[in-house]
Each structure stands twice: as C-alpha cells, then as structure tokens.
Amino acid sequence: MTSSEWPPSRPVMGFNTWYQFRTNITESQVIRQAQLLVSSGLAAAGYNCVNLDDGWMAAERAANGELTGDAAKFPQGMAWLAGQVHALGLRFGIYTAIGTRTCQSLPGSWGHYDQDAKAFAAWGVDFVKVDDCGGLPEGTTLDTLTEHFRQFGACLRQYNPEVLYSQELPIHQIGRPSFLPAVRASAEFAHMWRVAHDEGPLTHDNASPMILGHLAADLPLHSFAGPGHWNDLDMVAPAFPASGWTMADLHSQLSVWAMEASPLLISADIGALPPAALAALKNPHMIALDQSGEQCSTVIMNGDIEALMKRDPAGGIAVLFVNLGTHTATGRFSLPQFGITSARASGYDVWTGNKATFSEVSVTLDAGQTMLMQIQPDEEEDEVALCG
Ligand code: GLA
C-alpha cells in the first residue's frame, strides 16, 4: 500500500474508467491501466488512485442483498482487484449511486447504505464516488437528498475512517437556487463534489466551450474549496486522443483545472496517450498549481481577455489568460494589477517554457484560447531597488 497521505488534503489525482471505457470495463483492463499508470511515470507524478466508474456491478444484487461485481467482467471479485491495485502501490476507488439505480440502470445503493459501506470497506476500497441518479422515492426534496448523501458518507467513514468520499449532490441543482445550498452542504461532509455537467460531446469543437463553461460555473465557488474538500470539475483528458481534442485543448483543460484546484482524474487509455499528452499530465508546474491548496479567487478583465490569478507555489503569481470573445483579441494589463510592484517582471509560459521580461503584459489569443503564465518580479531590479 502506498504511504502517501490518505485521504489527501489536496485534490485527488488518479485514473477513472468512465470516458474511455464506459461500462465495458474488465478486471484485466483495470489492472492494465493501473500498471500503465506506474510504468508511464504518472503514478510517481502523483496520479495514485485507480477508480472504477459505473458498470462494474452485477445486474442485480445477490439474494442476501449484497452488491457484487459483474462476474463476467470481474471473475475474481472486487476484493481481489483492490488487492492487485494496492500491490502496485495505488489506491482503489469504486462507484455507486444514491438511488435504487445507477445512471446506467445497474443496482444503486438506496436502502443499502450501511451494507454497501461495509462491503466496500471489507474489499479494501479507498475511494467511493456516489452518483446522483436513479429511482429516488417520490417526494424526495433537496433536504432529504442531502441527508441521504450525508448519511451515506457517515456509513462509509464508519467502516473506513480513511475513505475518500466523492459525490454528485449539486449536479442536478445546476442552474437552480438550490445549487449553492447543495455545494455548501457537500463541502461539510465530502472530499469532492461535482459542480459542472458531464463533459460532452467530446469533440474538438466542443472542447473550448465546455472547458470555459466549467470554469465559469466553478469561479464563484472558491470559498467552498480548501484542504480536504474540493469543487470537482469532472475528469481530465476524457478519452484523449480519440476524443479529437488537440494538445491545446488538453493544455487549456489542465490549466483551468489547476487554477481551480480540481481533482485530476485521467479518463483515457493510458497506453494510447501520446508522449506530449503524458508530458502535459506530468507537468510539475501545472501539478504544483493544482495542489497549491487554494482555488483561484481573483479575476480581472481587459476587453475580451480574462485574467485569473492565484499564488504560484513556484514563486510569484500564476495567471491564466482566457479569450472569452468570439474573435482574436489582445488584453493589456499592468504589473500592479497582478500585485507586482517592480517596474519589470518575467513571465514563464507553463506549456511552452518560453520566457520573456516586460513592464506590462500584453496577450493576444484566438477566441476560446488560453495561456498559463507564471509572473515574477524582476529579481535584478529588486536588488537594484534594495541597494538604491
Ligand atoms: C453520471 C456521472 C458520470 C458517470 C456516469 C456513469 O452521468 O455524472 O460522471 O459516473 O453517470 O453512468
């Protein structure tokens, strides 16, 4: 078993089966992905959790009410699989739903919270995602639903005090007055909760609107995020590269997720990730930003260009520039707008590695395009200022 902090105080990093495999998951494929996580270096970069999503369970519960794995897909059972994943030094995650059925109409946990929590703990499950679907009784209100999520979390913790609890309570409240109360409640009892819709359709054309839509949904929620509890924007690199996303799309997604301190759960076939995508996912600067312990809370605009900022653990300030308009546009910002008091500063592009020094920041981006930059006061000038 891995010795890293669990449950992590920072946004969890790992792998999830959903976008790549949907319900076509088997134990050999899961083990293959776990092995690839290790051999690709992703595990060493922090992606240390392997999560099954929907589709792992048998079509019906056993006669004694127990939830079991689909015997054709998981012939050796869930405890065995958890053991295999643990033997690789990784954590093991599983999925269920708060209602009677999952989003794929498989058995959910309604009426079985205690029983399922006990089974998951016995199997060695480290991470449980509870979806907001399926067959809730007539008359279920947000309050009662919230209580069910709270109660399920309590059961999970009772049998495994170290479990990471991920859930989707807010997702069906998006766009309603009940959204914020659902997020607020989630932050009290879960480690992460989904704040934006599923990603889709997964195409290049939809990548930028989806990523920027998720960003807009999450920006007002920064006060709910902090060590041990994070807003969840959904998985990263969904079915990449089959999705048709470009590297620029992937860079944009990782930039937004890192600024927003969202969990980073890769949902692609690790074996099919091109070297550039692997390098992007392992980018230490991006990971440090994601794991910095805070979600971005400051945004300024110049024309169509939005600049989001937060403290950069590597020094200075991280700024994500986003063109929210429909045409190529240039944004101009003064250094004091980023809290920098020196006359000159240096900028480092987190994705290209390009460096520049400047006395103001001028950024030109195509519609929907982003740029992630670390900006630091010019050191020489600081020295001059100190000596002078
Ligand atoms: C919902 C969730 C997804 C995924 C699917 C599985 O749509 O939001 O993340 O778990 O269910 O059916």
Question: Quick one: which H or E segment has residue 188?
Answer: helix 179-189
| Predicted pLDDT of residue 191 | 98
Peptide bond into 241 cis (omega under 30): yes
Output the 3-class SS for 267-280.
CCCHHHCCHHHHHH
What's the pLDDT at 3? 53
CB 345 within 8 A of CB 335: yes
CA 23 to centroid of chain Cα atoms: 20
**Cα distance between residue 174 and residue 57, in whole Å:** 28
- What is the pLDDT, as a whole number, of residue 12? 98
Give yes or no for residue 132 CB within 6 A of ligand 1.
Answer: no
Cβ contact 141:149 at 8 Å: no
Helical axes 78-87 vs 113-123, angle rounded to 10°: 40
| Distance in Å, CA 388 to ligand 1 centroid | 60
Q: Is this prediction's pTM over 0.85?
A: yes
Tell how far the Cα of 132 is from the centroid of ligand 1, in angstroms. 9
Nearest-angstrom CA–CA distance, 278 and 59: 35
The per-residue pLDDT for 135 is 81
From atom 9 of ligand 1, which residue's Cα is the shortest distance away? 198
- Nearest C-alpha neighbor of 185 from the set 254, 132, 138, 135: 132
Q: What's residue 334's pLDDT?
A: 98
Distance 387 CA to ligand 1 centre (A): 59
Whole-Å CA distances, 211 to 125, 145, 171, 233, 305: 31, 28, 16, 9, 16
Amino acid identity, position 209: P
Is 126 touching ligand 1 by the criterion CB < 6 Å?
A: no
Average pLDDT per 10 consecutive residues for the chain, totaling 388 residues: 81 98 98 98 98 98 97 98 98 97 97 98 98 87 96 98 98 95 98 98 98 98 98 99 98 99 99 98 98 98 98 97 98 97 97 98 98 91 44
Rounded CA gap, 167 and 174, in Å?
Answer: 14
Determine if ligand 1 sits within 6 Å of the CB of residue 378: no
Q: Would you say 12 and 165 are in contact if contact means Cβ atoms under 8 Å apart?
A: no
CA distance 260 to 8: 17
As to burial, measured by CB atoms within 10 angstroms (0-12 exposed, 13-18 middle, 19+ buried), residue 118 is middle
Residue (of 72, 70, 58, 83) closest to 1 by Cα position: 83
> Could you tell me the sign of the dihedral formed by the alpha carbons of 58, 134, 167, 195, in that order?
positive
Phi/psi of residue 55, nearest 5 degrees: 105, 0
Q: Calculate how far, in angstroms, residue 107's C-alpha sits from the geometric centre of ligand 1.
A: 14
Ligand 1 atom 8: the closest Cα is on which residue?
Answer: 198
Residue whose CA lies nearest to ligand 1 atom number 6: 54
